[in-house]
Amino acid sequence: MTRRLAAALALLTAFALAPAVPAHAADEGPEQIVNGTFDAGTAPWWGTGNVTLGVEDGRLCVDVPGGTANPWDVIIGQDNLPLVEGETYAFSFYASATPAKVGRALVQLPVDPWTQYLSAAPEMSVSGNVYRYTFTAPVSLPNAQVAFQMGGSAEPWRLCMDDVSLRGGAEPEEYEPDTGPRVRVNMVGYLPDGPKNATVVTEAEAPLAWELKNASGRTVARGKSTPRGLDESSGQRVQSIDFSSYRKPGTGYTLTADGETSRPFDISANLYDEMRVDALKFYYTQRSGIEIRDDLRPGYGRPAGHVGVSPNQGDISVPCQPGVCDYSLDVSGGWYDAGDHGKYVVNGGISVHQLMSLYERDKAAHKDGQLRIPESGNGVPDVLDEARWEQEFLLSMQVPEGEALAGMAHHKIHDRAWTGLPLMPHLDPQPRELHPPSTAATLNLAATAAQAARVFAPYDAAFAARNLAAAREAWAAAVANPDRLADPNDGVGGGAYPDTDVSDEFYWAAAELYITTGEKAFADFVLASPHHTGDIWRERGFDWGNTAQLGRLELATVPNAIRDRDRVRRSVLEGADKYLATQREHPYGVPYGPPDYDWGSNNLVLNNMVVMAVAHDLSGKEKYRAGVREGMDYILGRNALNQSYVTGYGEVASQNQHSRWYARQLDASLPNPPRGTLSGGPNSAIQDPVAQRLLQGCAPQFCYVDHIESWSTNELTINWNAPLAWVSAFLADRAEHSGCDVRYRSHGGRNFTAEVTVRNAGGKHLDGWTLRWAFTGAQRVRDSWGAAVSQEGPVVTAKSNRKLRPGGSVTFGFAGSAPAGPNPAPEVFHLNGDRCR
Residue 506 CA to residue 446 CA, distance in Å, equals 9
Say if residues 725 and 806 touch (Cβ distance below 8 Å).
no
Q: Phi, psi (5° rounding) for residue 126?
A: -65, -35
> Quick one: DSSP state of residue 71?
G
Comparing C-alpha atoms, which of 204, 209, 210, 196 is closest to residue 237? Answer: 204
For residue 182, the SS3 value is coil
Provide the pairing of β-strand 830-831 with 766-774.
antiparallel
| Active site (annotated) includes residue 340 | yes
Residue 621 CA to residue 627 CA, distance in Å, equals 11
Cis peptide before 311 (omega within 30 of 0): yes
Say if residues 593 and 560 touch (Cβ distance below 8 Å).
no
Distances (CA, A) of 641 to 187, 234, 597, 644, 654: 12, 9, 14, 9, 11
Strand partners, 795: 774, 792
Strand partners, 811: 757
> Quick one: DSSP state of residue 335?
B
What H or E segment, with its residue span, contains residue 524? Answer: helix 520-528
Here the contacts of 505-508 (C-beta below 8 Å, separation 24 or greater) are 505/439, 505/440, 505/443, 505/444, 505/447, 505/547, 506/443, 506/478, 506/482, 507/531, 507/532, 507/547, 507/548, 507/551, 508/443, 508/447, 508/547, 508/548, 508/550, 508/551, 508/554
Give the number of other Cβ atoms within 10 Å of residue 317's Cβ: 14
Say if residues 134 and 87 touch (Cβ distance below 8 Å).
no
| Active site (annotated) includes residue 706 | yes
Catalytic residue, from 73, 173, 375, 706: name it: 706
Residue 830 CA to residue 471 CA, distance in Å, equals 32
Q: Which residues are within 8 A (CB) of 559 and not within 5 positions of it... i.e. 6 or more apart? A: 776, 824, 825, 826, 827
Say if residues 411 and 484 touch (Cβ distance below 8 Å).
no
| Active site (annotated) includes residue 658 | yes
Comparing C-alpha atoms, which of 3, 21, 130, 145 is closest to residue 72? Answer: 145
Q: Which amino acid is at 801?
A: N
Strand partners, 366: none
What H or E segment, with its residue span, contains residue 615? Answer: helix 601-619
> Quick one: DSSP state of residue 486?
P
Residue 64 CA to residue 62 CA, distance in Å, equals 6
Q: Which residues are within 8 A (CB) of 322 and not within 5 positions of it... i.e. 6 or more apart? A: none
Residue 198 CA to residue 255 CA, distance in Å, equals 9
Comparing C-alpha atoms, which of 717, 664, 667, 656 is closest to residue 690? Answer: 656
Catalytic residue, from 411, 531, 616, 658: name it: 658
Catalytic residue, from 231, 340, 512, 598: name it: 340
Residue 189 CA to residue 615 CA, distance in Å, equals 24
Active site residues: 340, 658, 706, 715
